[in-house]
Amino acid sequence: MYKTLEKYLPERAVELCADLIKENSVNLKIVNQRVTRHGDYRRLPDGTHKITVNSSLNKYRFLITLVHEIAHLVAFEKYGRKIKPHGLEWKKTFQFLMLPFIRPEVFPPKVLPLIANHFRNPSASSDTDAKLSIALKQFDAQFKENSYVFQLPIGSVFRLKNGRIFKKGNKKIKRFECIELSTNNIYLFQPNAEVELIKD
């Protein structure tokens, strides 16, 4: 197991993660990339715990995702199956399990303050924390300077990976209102949504 984990995790996180996996009898599967999620936890009918994590994640996001999914397992076992998946019990569990990893030996100095801030009140996905998400993306294997919605001027036209085209509008609290040009429907975009600017 150590050899496998060494490929996907920061070096100083391997032993701690291996201990978490053993303690909680986790059946870990590392799978090809899924666009909609970084990882998944399921309790199987025979009572065993299966966690899947995307193989394409960089080592810091892989670590956060693995601990996120183990936190689901631990929270359900401790508090029962009726708790909300990303409710208070899960947040407390996730914070507790991440604490030993929030150190300069594990995370790079420029990311560490963002990690510490995120884990004061962790969200269902680190992707919704725009600053942390952008900081983590720079460690991706295929990192390129993409355009993010927050970087574009109001009125810019941009394309998503699926080909849909939008025009950027004003910011509403934390997200941007953008109009889909083919339907005139308004959608809210996270500031760190990756898009392709369409030049005039």
- HEC secondary structure over 152-192: CCCCCEEECCCCCEEEEEEEECCEEEEEECCCCCEEEECCC
Domains annotated on the chain, with CATH: 2-137 (3.30.2010), 147-197 (2.30.30)
Decide: 195 and 158 in contact? Cβ < 8 Å. yes
Question: Taking the CB of residue 39, how many other CB atoms lie within 10 A of it?
Answer: 24
Decide: 60 and 42 in contact? Cβ < 8 Å. no
Question: Greater confidence, 133 or 94?
Answer: 94
pLDDT of residue 145: 53
pLDDT in tens, 110-146: 999 999 999 998 888 777 787 888 888 888 866 555 5
Please name which of 77, 173, 176, 72 lies closest in space to residue 125, comparing C-alpha atoms.
72
Q: What's the pTM?
A: 0.75
